[in-house]
Amino acid sequence: MRRKAATLQVRRVGAYRHLTCTNPGPSPRPGQFYMLATVERWGGGEAERPFLPRAFSYLRAEGDRLEFLWEDVGPGTRRLSELRRGEELWLLGPLGNGFERDRRPLLVGGGIGIVPLACWQDELGDVPALLGFRDALHAQAAGLMGGEVRLATDDGSAGHRGFVTELLAAGLDGDDDVTVFACGPPPMLETVRAICTERDVPAQLALEAGMACGFGACFGCVVPTREGYVRLCVDGPVLEAAALEGVR
């Protein structure tokens, strides 16, 4: 059911925007997501964009508040970035399946992919996280996580110079009695999948696909698995790495 929420705050965190709003619905599980749209000026007007709601994992849920994080990359995220205190937005969710507890956790996030890992870390306690970002400005979002964080940036402006998957491979060489929980861009998730498969380390990957409805009706979000195609919005967005031949 689509519900109206009220904006409490939108602030900048490095290159990202961080929204706190009311939660008019049930409590979500880490890894679940919402379809978001503003009540005013969301298409149907002159330019018709963004028109469709956009999918967002939640960053944190505390009491009757929900938090989201995004980078302004297109019409939807731009309009959300303009939200002002008190302004209303539509929330459809919580949707999809989240992370499941398994062995000792190791979190691996790339860029905006840290979002579902933050609430998962809240639930698991101070578990370690390996986080990769483009540069130091984006890496400011690492401050939203707790626990022991190891950073990597593409340009070396914060932490290890290189990809977060290099930190993962080195870490697993020393200790592979873990379950990896990962979210990030497809090339990063594909490398995580390959590293974990090679070492027989279980991994749960929070994937992304273009989503028009978010609840299984449009088939816009199908991804291939070893068992055939699944709809990421209802069968995911978290899938076992072992179920996938690859991440694209």
Ligand X SMILES: Cc1cc2nc3c(=O)[nH]c(=O)nc-3n(C[C@H](O)[C@H](O)[C@H](O)COP(=O)(O)OP(=O)(O)OC[C@H]3O[C@@H](n4cnc5c(N)ncnc54)[C@H](O)[C@@H]3O)c2cc1C
Point out which residues bind ligand FES (CB under 6 A).
Answer: 211-214, 216-221, 231, 233
Q: Residue 148 to residues 30, 106, 108: CA-CA distances in angstroms?
A: 19, 10, 12
Residue 237 binding target from ligand FES, ligand X, none, CB below 5 to 8 Å by type? ligand X
**Contacts to ligand X from residues 110-169, by CB under 6 A:** 112, 115
> Considering the complex, what minimum distance in angstroms separates the CB of residue 101 from ligand X?
20
Give the nearest distance from C-beta 81 to ligand X in angstroms.
9
Applying the rule CB under 6 A, the residues between 30 and 89 that interact with ligand X are: 33, 50, 54-57, 69-71, 73-77
> Residue 74 to residues 32, 71, 77: CA-CA distances in angstroms?
22, 9, 6
DSSP-based three-state secondary structure for 86 = coil
Give the nearest distance from C-beta 55 to ligand FES in angstroms: 8
Nearer to ligand X, 105 or 184 (CB): 184
| Residue 168 per-residue DSSP state | H
Token couple for 127: 């578990």
Min dist CB 161 to ligand X, Å, is 21
**Smaller CB separation from ligand X, 104 or 210:** 210
The one of ligand FES, ligand X, none whose footprint includes residue 216, by CB under 5 to 8 A per kind, is ligand FES
| Cα(24)–Cα(2) distance, integer angstroms | 10
Which residues is 240 bridged to in the sheet?
A: 204
Q: How many Å separate Cα 153 from the centre of its chain?
A: 18
95 strand-pairing partners? 33
Binding status of residue 239 toward ligand X by CB under 6 A: no
* Bridge pairing between strands 65-70 and 60-62: antiparallel
Nearest approach, Cβ of residue 80 and ligand FES (Å)? 19
Closest CA to 33 of 214, 243, 182: 214
Binding site for ligand X (CB under 6 A): 33, 50, 54-57, 69-71, 73-77, 112, 115, 208-209, 211, 237
